Structure 1
Amino acid sequence: MELGLTGKVVLLTGGSGGIGRPLARSFGREGARVALSYLRRADAAKEVAASIEEAGGEALPVQLDLTDRQSIDSAVGQVVDRWGAIDILVVNASATGGPNPKPVGFEEISADTWLPLLRSEIEGAFHTVQSVLPTMKSGGWGRIVFMSASIVHRGRKGEEAYTASKAALHGLSRTLATELFTDNIFSNVVAPGPTVTEGLLGKLPDSLKERIADVTPEQAKRLLNEGMPHLRFSTVDDVNNTVLFLASAANGNITGNVINVDGGH
């Protein structure tokens, strides 16, 4: 399938780590021009950008702080100055990087935990979309993809703050889809379930960590599935391919949806 991503300009927030790294490279392989944002890990972002360029693509690392509107506008401005537009926005950056490996009870969640998370996830996404929309509208085409998590649909004890912040993205995306359809701008959410990444491996119980030390990602995936026989863990490619399609010209009529990539869990 031809995705039609060649020459499209992508702003991928949170492109320096986690699932953002392979996602940035996937866009690069499809011929997109990739702007990947980072907060503190400039070296990591530059490394990803260099790998895209070495493969013949174009990439630009930009610093972006989700809690600072000026920082967001500056990053967007750098991308537009470089390539003239932003066609695709993938809101992937997260204040936490995922669910808490050691969740606490709801009554124990402090405002110091709750409010910064909400501000980063919701306000950051809101302002990033606001900043990018003018260039999408002027180009008459755009694709927005919010990265969420399947935990929103299932819930998890002690994850009220994280789950609520991600659920808010679902409502934002659905409303944007309604408002922006006539501008040929689509908005969707991708909600991965447990996915075999370096980040996930670092959050596993010690009993599983011992079993997957010094093994390949494929071996780790098999071991993880043994530990949870009812669940098929996703691969990074499972998630990336979903994002690439939704962000592409091949997506001709899917907007306002939440796509779970979780093996039906």
Structure 2
Amino acid sequence: MLDLGLEGRTVLVTGATGTIGSAAARAFAEQGARVALAFRHRRETAEALAVELSGPDRGRAFAVPYALDDAASPRWVVAAVEEHWGGLDVLVAAARRRGARREPHARFEDVPEEHWRPLVADAFAPAIRTVQWAVAGMRKRGWGRIALVAPPHAPEGDPGGEFHAVARAGLQGLVRGLVGEVGGDGVLINAVCPGPTPPDRPPTPPDRPPTLPDRPPTAPEGRTAPEGPTTPEGPTTTPEDIARALVFLCSAANGAITGETLTLAGRR
């Protein structure tokens, strides 16, 4: 069995109340890591998840506020984790702004700045600030893992896709640029770019199991229908798919992959 070396490690997940962030938090907790859940709006959700992940040992998870538009928030949240557990081993930056909905037929030149600025600027500055504060302690201890979750891939020609592409390119540039800076100190940094993912939604209550179809989806003769959620273009990437990739990249089992962007396209 592959030893991921995450037992007792300290992990900070930003955007921990979203579908990707919460799946990542659960995946790290399953490996025995202690997880700090950084949230912006959904305090009750974050605190409930902290209770769930702590289990009998109440000290294995806690919720902490984090705001993308507050320049002081990254410093404060990293300091809170280091004070609580004595250090930070892993940063998973999954928080992001979504921006206003663009009209489907709006031309690029007609898109107002209030639409694209959250998609672009808020993908860069918070990630840079949080990595700056997180990496300082990692370098001192000689070990660390950082994973940035980039905006999902939009179908080619999708309205607004160009702004998401700019945000992804910026994060990719950040991880490539930091390889030489922090690699010698035992810190690996990568990005994960999801394919189409299901939208954020509250989990199904335990006493109301999900409704299943009467029969499995059919496919043209000679072909097997894909398993899992789909879009008109094909299967989506599940949050659990992304979480598994994040766990590996941020584990001791990954001793060499750094400066890379892993794209989970959700295609078969």
Q: TM-score range by the shorter chain?
A: 0.7 to 0.9
Q: Secondary structure of 2:126's partner?
A: helix
Q: Counterpart of 2:140?
A: 138
Range with bigger deviation, 243-252 or 17-26: 17-26
Q: Counterpart of 1:215?
A: 211
In proportion to residue count, which structure has more helix?
A: 1
Q: Counterpart of 1:50?
A: 51
- Given that 1:17 and 1:44 are in contact with CA atoms closer than 8 Å, whether structure 2 keeps it comes out as no
User: Which string of whole-angstrom CA distances, capped at 9 and with x for unpartnered residues, describes residues 194-244 of structure 1?
Assistant: 234545xxxxxxxxxxxxxx6359x7985853x53x623223222111110
Aligned equivalent of 2:249, options 246, 249, 258: 246
Cα distance in 1 for residues equivalent to 2:155 and 2:196: 13
* CA-CA distance at 1:141 after TM superposition: 0.5
User: Which string of whole-angstrom CA distances, capped at 9 and with x for unpartnered residues, describes residues 11-46 of structure 1?
Assistant: 110001221112111111111110110111111110
* CA-CA distance at 1:151 after TM superposition: 1.6
Q: Counterpart of 1:163?
A: 165
* Structure of larger gyration radius: 2
Q: Secondary structure of 1:191's partner?
A: strand
* CA-CA distance at 1:123 after TM superposition: 0.4
- Given that 1:152 and 1:167 are in contact with CA atoms closer than 8 Å, whether structure 2 keeps it comes out as no
Q: Counterpart of 1:3?
A: 4
Q: Counterpart of 2:128?
A: 126
Q: Percent of pairs identical after alignment?
A: 34
* CA-CA distance at 1:152 after TM superposition: 6.9
Q: CA RMSD in A?
A: 2.9
Cα distance in 2 for residues equivalent to 1:102 and 1:25: 36
2:211 alignment partner AA: V
1:239 alignment partner AA: I
Cα distance in 2 for residues equivalent to 1:257 and 1:83: 29
Q: 1:263 to 1:162 in 2, by over 3 A?
A: closer
Q: 1:197 to 1:188 in 2, by over 3 A?
A: same
* CA-CA distance at 1:155 after TM superposition: 6.0
User: Which string of whole-angstrom CA distances, capped at 9 and with x for unpartnered residues, describes residues 82-120 of structure 1?
Assistant: 0011111111001118x9586543122211122233332
2:15 alignment partner AA: G
In the alignment, structure 1 segments of 5+ residues that lack a partner are 200-213
- Given that 2:151 and 2:193 are in contact with CA atoms closer than 8 Å, whether structure 1 keeps it comes out as yes
Alignment coverage as a number of residue pairs: 249
